[in-house]
Chain A
Amino acid sequence: DSGVTQTPKHLITATGQRVTLRCSPRSGDLSVYWYQQSLDQGLQFLIQYYNGEERAKGNILERFSAQQFPDLHSELNLSSLELGDSALYFCASSLGPNTGELFFGEGSRLTVL
C-alpha cells in the first residue's frame, strides 16, 4: 500500500459526460501528480501540483482540468468525454516538488461508452 488513495476505482460513463477523479496523497506529501495510462501510449504525465499551486504541465487536454485543495487532496476533472479518454488515471505524490520518488495510487479506470 503506497498510502495514496484514489476514488473511484472504476467509472463507466457516456461520451459527452463529465467526471471527477479524486486523490488523497500520502500523509506529509505536498506534491501531487496525475498520469494517464492507455494501452497504446503508456504512462503520460498530465499535471503536477505542489502545495496548492500548479507546478508543471504535460500533455493535458483543454477538456481536462485539475486542482489541489488546501487539505492537499487533488481532483482531476474530465469533461466532454470521448471514447479515446478511456484509460487508467493514476495519481502520485511526493514530499517535495523535486523529490525523486513518486508514490502511485491504485488508479481510476475510466471507460467511456
Chain B
Amino acid sequence: EDQVTQSPEALRLQEGESSSLNCSYTVSGLRGLFWYRQDPGKGPEFLFTLYSAGEEKEKERLKATLTKKESFLHITAPKPEDSATYLCAFTYGGATNKLIFGTGTLLAVQP
C-alpha cells in the first residue's frame, strides 16, 4: 500500500539547534514529494517540491532532500517562528494531482 510516514511525531529544539525531520515513503511510481508547513488553525503552506532522488531545495533556514526511500527537511539554526507542524505529501501514478499527506511533525523551537 502506498503510504508516507513522518518522524518524529514531535520535536522540541532550542533556538539555534539544528535538526532534521524525516519522511519515509513506499510508493509505486512517485511523481513528486512535497513539504508543507501548517500553523495552528491555518491551512497548509507550500514549501518545496522534489521530483527525483538526489534533488535538494533550500529556502531560508530550510533545506529539503530526497532519496529513493525518504525525504529529509533540515532546519538550520531554527528560530521560534519556525515552530509549526511540517507535513510531507506525495503524488503518484496517473494523471491526477491527488496529494497523500503524512501525519506531520510538530516542531516547537524555544527561545
Q: Are A94 and B97 in contact (CB under 8 A)?
A: yes
Residue ID in chain B nearest A91 by CB atoms: B43
Q: Which chain A residues lie closer than 8 Å to B98 at the CB level?
A: 45, 48, 56, 58
Q: Point out which of A4, A55, A102 has the most chain B C-beta atoms below 10 A from its C-beta.
A: A102
Q: How far is the CA of A105 from the CA of B46 in the complex (A)?
A: 12
Q: Which chain A residues lie closer than 8 Å to B104 at the CB level?
A: 42
Q: How far is the CA of A62 from the CA of B103 in the complex (A)?
A: 25
Q: Which chain A residues lie closer than 8 Å to B49 at the CB level?
A: 100-101
Q: Are B46 and A55 in contact (CB under 8 A)?
A: no
Q: Point out which of A90, A97, A98 has the most chain B C-beta atoms below 10 A from its C-beta.
A: A98
Q: Point out which of B87, B96, B104 has the most chain A C-beta atoms below 10 A from its C-beta.
A: B96
Q: Which chain B residues lie closer than 8 Å to A98 at the CB level?
A: 91, 95-97
CB of B4, distance to nearest CB on chain A (Å): 10
Q: Is A2 an interface residue (CB 8 A)?
A: yes
Q: Are B87 and A102 in contact (CB under 8 A)?
A: no
Q: Is B17 an interface residue (CB 8 A)?
A: no
